[in-house]
Amino acid sequence: MSIKGVVALISSCLAVALLAPGSGQFQRLSIASSGLEAQTRPPSIEKLASGARKISLKAPGGHLMGGTTRGMSYTSAMSDGTPAPKLVVDPDGAIFLGYNDADSNARILELDGRLRVKREVLRVKGKRLADFIAVDDALTLLLTEFDSEKKQNYVRRKHHTAHIEQYAIKNGRANFRTRIVGTREYKKEGDQGIDTTFGTFSIAYDEDNEVFATYFSTYRRWDDGVTHQSEYLATFDADDGKRRMQDGNRPEGFTWNVSHSFRPRFVHDGERYVMATVGDAYPRGLVVQFFAQGESGGRELPIKVPKAKPGETYQYVPVTTGDLYARDNNTWIVVDSAVGRSSNDIALIRAQGEKVGKPIFLTNTPRVRERVPRIQPYGEDHLLVLWMNDQGPAKRKWHPELSKMAMQGAVIDEAGRVISKPAAFGKIGQFQMRSAARMFRLSDGRAGWINDATGIEDQLEIVVLPGPGGGGTVDPDENEPDEKPEPPESEENETIKIDPKLNQPLLAAIYDGEDRTALSLLQRGADPNAKFGQWTALLYAAYFGRTSVVEELVRRKANPNATVSGWTALRLAESRGHDRIVETLRPITQINSRAFGREAAPARPTDSRVRTRGGRVNIAPNRLERSGGANSRAKLRELGKPKQ
């Protein structure tokens, strides 16, 4: 017998069958031995977290979540809230970042291999980006059109119509623009518009048939005078965006199905569209359904929810659609559920074709609510699942506060067997993602997500995990300029006169990621200890990972012991995973402690609306879109009532 065969036999003999708590499903956990199998075993969750890198990226026009995270909810009751930025990789490996700016306009950026901005591809004014994909040298966008109404210090936006639009990657020109469905008023029977409060909007592509599909929730006025809510599936020809018709006279897909439909999500598994949503009435529970070749397939209810008790708000269904991943006629669905359990636990459901398996629970934690999981492939045979833990008060269980939650994760195989057991992914507040965030996978196998809960109006954060082989992490010089300015002659003995007028441009250049400009300003006389509020040039550079700037500031005797809210440059670099900066600062930093508070968020050096609270410099909120929290809960209570 070969060595590989012996290893497989020993591993098989050591396999232990364990019952997944509350699921009725057996999980077979393989105890890896040394040798060939051990080499392919994925790293622990703790190791993944320690190898994660945070890359700050300036978002032209700001971003929709604004400059505050105070009290921000991870999720709302039955809703993901405002769409999160999304990173997409096209078949040729080009990388695109889609997000909504501070005025809710859709924007798409192209990034390079270091995840730095190459160029802005397009901006769509007056329409919010809900989802997008990149195929055939084009970007296909699912957008929601809105009307704006200014109220005191914020702008309220009412979304009324959904569109699918396609633009050429090369020059940003429109290939097609198609209106899907929408209305501003629900006055007569048949009026149908979009639901952006509870409905998650998704787009998918059927490569074999060259068809795009969109899936989301809508409102519709019926003959009983009531405006009800349900889900909506539409398909379009990929070449011209025209709505596909069935039997020559009716749109392909469906305009009404599960009612009410919360967080609908779908994917294409290579053969069919697989949809998952939570219904609170008809039916009530987690619904998995299929659509292929113009026809609806089967519909399963893998998690059934009992009928609401008297006095119970019937819309609050204790199941949440998390995420879907599909390939080769298989779909993996992750959810959180408190049905028949003491708290919300994470469950995996696998669909093979249209055969839907029973839930396999990955966690069983009575005192912790585990919420809204995400799933991504990790290597060839494994899947990474990440979620956020909520241990806050029960009164906030439907809208937990993001800053008080901790990330957790697990690695499983395709059958749902746990390979790397559930564990903390960093410390509380170290890694964040809103429930609307989706994970991405780069061409080299690295996974990650976009965090827009940065507390900085014009900065997004890309979190990238190590590759499956333990390598493939972000280049430690990801922020190194392509070309450095030539150092001045005899710089060892050179005395450069400090020019205070260059200080603000220096801080702005560091903030904006213009490293070459920052280095040039230092050579021309900018003060290496330039300061804005409590933020010194070194603190800015360490926070954003400007490696070459940190090295130059240190060479020019910048103070490494300056702090903001108790955080030194060293501690900021450690928290954000900038290893090379940590190596530079550790030998010269004398202060080893920090305040027992959250990591400070830097203010833009040119922003005049800066305020200081509790020793922390923050940017004042601006143009906040009230899409979650109390407003969302109020809409939930009104769901299903007649719209006048």
Which DSSP string do the residues of 198-231 spell out, in sequence order? TPPPEEEEETTTTEEEEEEEEEEE-TTS-EEEEE
CATH for the stretch 500-619: 1.25.40.20
- Helices 537-544/503-512 angle, 10° precision: 10
Task: Give pLDDT, residue 161.
Answer: 97
Question: In the structure encoding, which two tokens stand for residue 488, read together?
Answer: 């001045």
Q: How many Cα atoms occupy the beta-carbon half-sphere of 304 within 13 Å? A: 6
Domain with CATH 2.130.10.120 in the chain: 46-478+632-638
Question: In the structure encoding, which two tokens stand for residue 449, read together?
Answer: 């997500």
Task: Give pLDDT, residue 198.
Answer: 86
Task: Give pLDDT, residue 485.
Answer: 52
**Residues 535, 572 contacting (CB under 8 angstroms):** no
Q: Render the burial of 251-267: b for 16+ CB within 10 Å, e for the rest.
A: bbbbbbbbbbbbbbbbb
Task: Give pLDDT, residue 513.
Answer: 86
Task: Give pLDDT, residue 237.
Answer: 97
Task: Give pLDDT, residue 7.
Answer: 42
**Residues 9, 1 contacting (CB under 8 angstroms):** yes
Kindly report the number of other CB atoms within 10 A of residue 555's CB atom.
13
Question: In the structure encoding, which two tokens stand for residue 119, read together?
Answer: 């160029």
User: pTM score, two decimals?
Assistant: 0.82
Task: Give pLDDT, residue 606.
Answer: 66
In terms of C-beta distances under 8 Å and separation of at least 24 residues, what long-range contacts does 236-240 make, across chains too? 236/164, 236/178, 236/211, 236/212, 237/210, 237/211, 237/212, 238/135, 238/136, 238/205, 238/210, 238/211, 238/212, 239/210, 240/176
pLDDT by 10-residue block (mean), the chain, 644 residues:
44 38 35 38 89 90 80 85 94 96 96 93 96 96 94 86 97 97 95 91 96 96 92 96 88 91 95 95 94 88 88 80 96 96 96 96 94 94 95 89 92 94 89 93 94 89 86 47 50 71 92 90 94 93 93 94 91 86 92 61 62 32 35 46 40
C-alpha 580, offset from chain centre: 26
Cα radius of gyration rounded to whole Å, the chain: 26
Q: How far is CA 436 from CA 70, 323, 498, in A?
A: 18, 10, 47
Q: Could you say which of 2.130.10.120, 2.40.50.100, 3.40.30.10, 3.40.50.300 is the CATH number of the domain covering 46-478+632-638? A: 2.130.10.120
Bridge partners, 131 (sequence order): 142
Task: Give pLDDT, residue 226.
Answer: 92
Domain with CATH 1.25.40.20 in the chain: 500-619
Task: Give pLDDT, residue 162.
Answer: 97
Task: Give pLDDT, residue 595.
Answer: 52
